[in-house]
Amino acid sequence: MSAMLARAGLLAILLLSACAGAGAVDSSPAAGDTSARPVASTPIPRTADRGPELLARGDPIRRPAQPAMAVRYEAALLADHCLDRDLAAPPATDVVMTVLDRSYALPSGYVPGDLVPASGAGLNGGSGTKLVRAVLLDDLAAMNAAWQAAGLDVIVESGYRSYGAQAATFDSWVARLGYAGALVRSARPGHSEHQLGTSIDLSSPGWGGRFGDWGRETAEGAWMAAHAWEYGFVMSYPSGSQAQTCFSYEPWHYRWIGREAAAAHRDTGLYLRQFLEGFVR
C-alpha cells in the first residue's frame, strides 16, 4: 500500500511540473513582430483648428506643421515657362510647394480652406485685415514679434487674392504700363502666388511704392532680405532672377514655404521656382 501511495505522489508531482512548464509561454514578440509593441505618439497641434484670436490674446507661439519635404520621383516641367499659357499647375508633394509661373496656373475656383485674418498673428490696423492661410500664422506671429523687437514698422499690404481680385490687379497694371509691361510686373489671374494664401506683399511707412528698391532703401526691407528665411518666408523674385522667374524684381513679395524648406532653399542658392521643381510629383 505504501509503495502504491508513493508512486501516486510521484505521478502527481510530475503532472504538476508539466503543467507549470506549459504555462510558462514566452510573451515577448518575435523578432520583426511589432504588433505587440507600444508605439509612442505625440499629437501635433493643428494651427488650422485654432481660432485666429488665440495668438492675439497672448497664447504661446507654437510651430505650425511644416510642408512635406519629399523630393519628386520624376517631373518634366516646361523649359519655356515664361511663355504665357494657362496650363494646370503640376501637383506637388504639398500644395504649399506648388509651382506657379507665366505658364502654370491654379484653377479659377481654387480657394484655400483655412484662410484667417493676419490679426491672428498680432498684426494691427489694415495689416491685420489681410487674409493668409492658418498654417503659416504662427511663423508670421513669430516674425511680427521679431519686427517689433527690432523697432521695425512693417506693413502687410496684400495677402490672399482670389482669382477675380488678381484679374483686377493685373488690369490696373495694364492701365499703367500697357499689356507687355504688366506681364513682367504682375501675374495674370490664376498665375499669382497670392491665390495660394501663402504670399504677402510688404511695405513700411514713408516708402514710395512699387518702383523703388524696398529691400535696400528701408530698414524693414533690409531686415526681411536677411532674416525672412528664418521664419519660413522666401523672396520669390529677387534681383537678377527675371530670366528664371519670368517676373521683375519684387523685394516686397515673400512666400511662405515653411522653416525647414526655407533653410534648405537658402543652402541650395537656387531661385525659388527652381527649388520648387524638386517637389513636383
Going by their DSSP bridges, the two strands 87-88 and 104-105 should be labelled as parallel
Structural domains of the chain, ranges and CATH numbers in brackets: 80-279 (3.30.1380.10)
- Specify the pTM: 0.75
The string of pLDDT tens digits covering residues 221-271 is 999 999 999 999 999 999 999 999 999 999 999 999 999 999 999 999 999
Catalytic residues: 250
The string of pLDDT tens digits covering residues 2-40 is 444 344 443 443 333 443 444 433 333 333 333 333 333
Strand partners, 92: 280
| Contacting residues for 245 by C-beta, under 8 A, at least 6 apart | 101, 236, 237, 271, 272, 273
270/106 Cα distance (integer angstroms): 23
Choose among 89, 98, 73, 272: nearest CA to 264.
272
174/186 Cα distance (integer angstroms): 9
69/248 Cα distance (integer angstroms): 28
Given a contact cutoff of 8 angstroms between Cβ atoms, the answer to whether 118 and 132 are in contact is: yes
160/24 Cα distance (integer angstroms): 65
